[in-house]
A and B are shown apart, each in its own frame.
Chain A
Amino acid sequence: MIQFLVYGIHYKNCPVEIRETLHFRERRLPEAYEWVRREWPSVETLILSTCNRVELYFSAEATSPLQSETIAEFLSAFHGIERSQFESYAYRLEGRTAIEHLFRVASGLDSMVVGENEILGQLREAFRAANEAGTVDSFLFRWAERALRVGKLIRTKTKINEGAVSIPSVAVELAEKIFGRLSGEKIMVLGTGEMSGLTLQNLREAGAEALYVMSRNEERGRSLAESFGAHWVSNEEWEDLLIKIDILIASTSAPHPIVKQDAVQRAIAKRRHRPLFLIDIAVPRNIESEVHALDDVYLYNIDDLQEVAQSNLKLRHREIREAEGYVEKAVEEFLAWAEQLEAGPTIQRLQAYFDELVEEEIKRLGSLPTEEKERFQEFAHRLRSKFLHGPFETLKESSQLGTVRKTLEAIHGLFRLGHISKRDEIGISDRDARQ
């Protein structure tokens, strides 16, 4: 019987410093897989290591169980950390729960930000690395491949990944709600804070164009402007340039609003009411709140952006139930597949057993005319098919019900097929298993 197992730690209860220590860096992954191949040659292994989780996925014969202590020992030795430091945070999931967990991880249902897309790419990359290292075989291959597929399906069929949930991405979403698909909308940045750079970068990646950067510190202003292909402007110039831009990001350290209502009012009139999007990510605020009352001016400060992010997150949470339905279905299908695969050797043995009986009886008949021999063989073949139909159907049904083990034992007992053997002994190839 095949065992599916997950051992790991994640953001929900494990402190970031422990996660950082246990994180498998990309350059050290081959070394880790080398260790796994050497120490656990009959175990299929996949390592998923991100900033939010470090998880090891295993698939192995139940006859060679992998103890939590063994895995913890490996992590401890590999990362040079005491077991006692992380064992209390670690979890071990088995069987159905383990299978479901990977599907939930791939779907973003287990992520800190529900529905985030990044995890799907990270899992794909982890799968590729394990594949290259040769530590995934039939079962884990299928398990990970199904997880990636269900993750993609859920993102297509539900809205779990819709709506921006970080400040810079909310700014992009809002800009797109005002200007449509961004294509060359002009941006001016006031101040050189980290968040304004990040927001500017997101807007540029979405298609907008950085035009001006205003900073009292000329050197820093010029440096930011150059990195985005924009122009530095002085504190005296920026106000007149409001008519030339579509998006303004304000994040100066000024202790009072520097963007005044009357300045924006003049600009919007000159712009003939072409919409203007103002993003105020400074604390204290840089833009007078009265500006928002002007027609065709949309002012969002840091709290407003956060509120939109929260609202988007709520929308994602509404999709969880539907997404879980897809996960449930995928788990059932995967379990049915695994159970059917387990029945494979028995089916082959049963067929071989009947073929042997038929062959024996034909030999006993001695020499018969060819025509009569063919008729007899045909009769024997039909009888074999009809006789085996019942047990095969029962196996199929029990694999769907999750009781295949009992049925296999009954068949092995009734027909004296010997012990239920591993698939390898009977020669099921990896390719058969993957199909």
Chain B
Amino acid sequence: MNPTLSFLILSCAAAIYLLAFLFHLAAFLGTGENMNRWALVLVRVAFLVHTFFFFSETRAQGLVIPVSSFGQVMAFFSWSLAFVYLVLLAKIQSESFGLILAPLLSLLVGIGLGRLDTGQSSLPAPTNPYFILHLGTAFFAYASFTLSFVAALLYLIQHRELKRKRGGTFYHRLPSLEALEGLIYQPMAWGVFLLFSAIGVGFLWSKSAFGTYWLWEPKTISTLVIGLLYLILVVSHYGARSRGKRAAVMSLVAFSFVFLNFFGISLLGKGLHQIFK
């Protein structure tokens, strides 16, 4: 597809995500409940535009998942995030989630727009079915961890509000601690499943592409460590060993590793998993 047209479509998606954020913000500041409904409609519209961008890029490049530049990597990651939020979390969406996710989506797409055609990633072209599955599951795992992170942030805000005893705006607008705890751990459990699936499929792809199941490089090692860390968190939570504020803080700590893994490892400039050069 014409690069200018791609840029325009993605810009459109970023602008609509931003508009959705403004609607959420207006509702949060008390201008009426209708604003929240409109904000959700806008996020859905932006997601459709975002999806259209991928279909057109897929057709133009002949790839199932177009991630040949840093911009495309960011666009795909933000799309995965919107997908998990709108489809997997459809039943438990809340206005407070939208308030944080809409600007985050807009920001991620915006960053992607800045390097849509430059900053080529070192990721191999996703033509091998194992590799396509590996990419898909890994990105959706990161998206799930991001949602878990957002819920943990909201949990700590509500916790603070309840400790302050003032009954402020956040107290009224945010869901209960119990609901937020569910929102931390449900996506986290999906994320763990998806991440281990990505690791498993990655072994198969590595074997077919390089003749070995295991590649010794920073990203594979750190991903395995992160997967184990999240697994411990999920097991300890569902085994009723970790609850409340401590569980929310642990989710934040775990996500900081995800962030380092996603962006930080690329800065080392070593290995296959370079999302930007």
Contacts and interface: CB of A to CB of B under 8 A. Distances in A.
Contact of A178 (B32, B176, B246, B247): B176
A275 interface: yes
Interface centre among A274, A275, A295 (most CB of B within 10 A): A275
Contact of A272 (B163, B168, B176, B240): B240
Nearest to B176: A180
Interface in B162-178: 162-163, 165-168, 171-172, 175-178
A292 B163 contact: yes
A318 B176 contact: no
A2 interface: no
A272 B167 CA distance: 27
B120 to A, nearest CB: 47
Interface in A294-309: 295-296, 298, 300, 304, 307-308
Contacts of B176: 176-181
B252 to A, nearest CB: 15
A312 B169 CA distance: 10
B244 interface: yes
B162 A296 contact: no
A159 B35 CA distance: 14
Contacts of A322: 32
Contact of A311 (B162, B167, B179, B240): B167
A273 interface: yes
B250 to A, nearest CB: 11
B163 A163 contact: no
A180 B244 contact: no
B163 A298 contact: yes
A325 to B, nearest CB: 12
A315 interface: yes
A318 B30 contact: yes
A295 B245 contact: yes
A174 interface: yes
B148 interface: no
B246 A273 contact: yes
B91 interface: no
Interface hub of A176, A273, A315 (most chain B Cβ within 10 A) = A273
Contacts of A300: 165
Nearest to A164: B167
A296 B245 contact: yes
Contacts of A178: 162, 176-178
B247 to A, nearest CB: 7
Interface residues of A, number: 27
Nearest to A293: B163
Nearest to A277: B162
B242 A273 contact: yes
Interface in B206-226: none
A179 B240 CA distance: 15
Contact of B166 (A174, A180, A272, A307): A307
B158 interface: yes
A177 B244 contact: no
Interface string B130-173: 00000000000000000000000000001000110111100110
Contacts of A272: 240-243
Nearest to A313: B167
A245 to B, nearest CB: 16
Nearest to B240: A272
Contact of A295 (B167, B168, B244): B244
Given A177-B158, A180-B176, A318-B30, A273 B247 contact: yes
Interface in B231-269: 240-247
B244 A274 contact: yes
A275 B177 contact: yes
A312 B178 contact: no
B169 to A, nearest CB: 9
B171 A307 contact: no
B246 A295 contact: yes
Given A174-B162, A304-B165, A315-B172, A296 B243 contact: yes
A20 B166 CA distance: 36
Contacts of A312: 167
A298 B177 CA distance: 12
Interface in A163-205: 163, 174, 176-181
A273 B244 contact: yes
Chain A CB within 10 Å, residue with most, of B30, B176, B241: B176
Nearest to B175: A180
Contact of B243 (A177, A273, A292, A308): A273
A307 B162 CA distance: 12
18 contacts: A159-B33, A163-B172, A174-B162, A177-B176, A177-B177, A178-B176, A179-B178, A180-B175, A180-B179, A272-B243, A274-B244, A275-B244, A292-B163, A296-B244, A307-B166, A308-B165, A311-B168, A322-B32
The 8 residue pairs across chains A and B that have the minimum distance between CB atoms: A180-B178, A311-B167, A296-B244, A273-B244, A308-B167, A180-B176, A304-B165, A273-B243
Interface of B: 30, 32-33, 158, 162-163, 165-168, 171-172, 175-179, 240-247
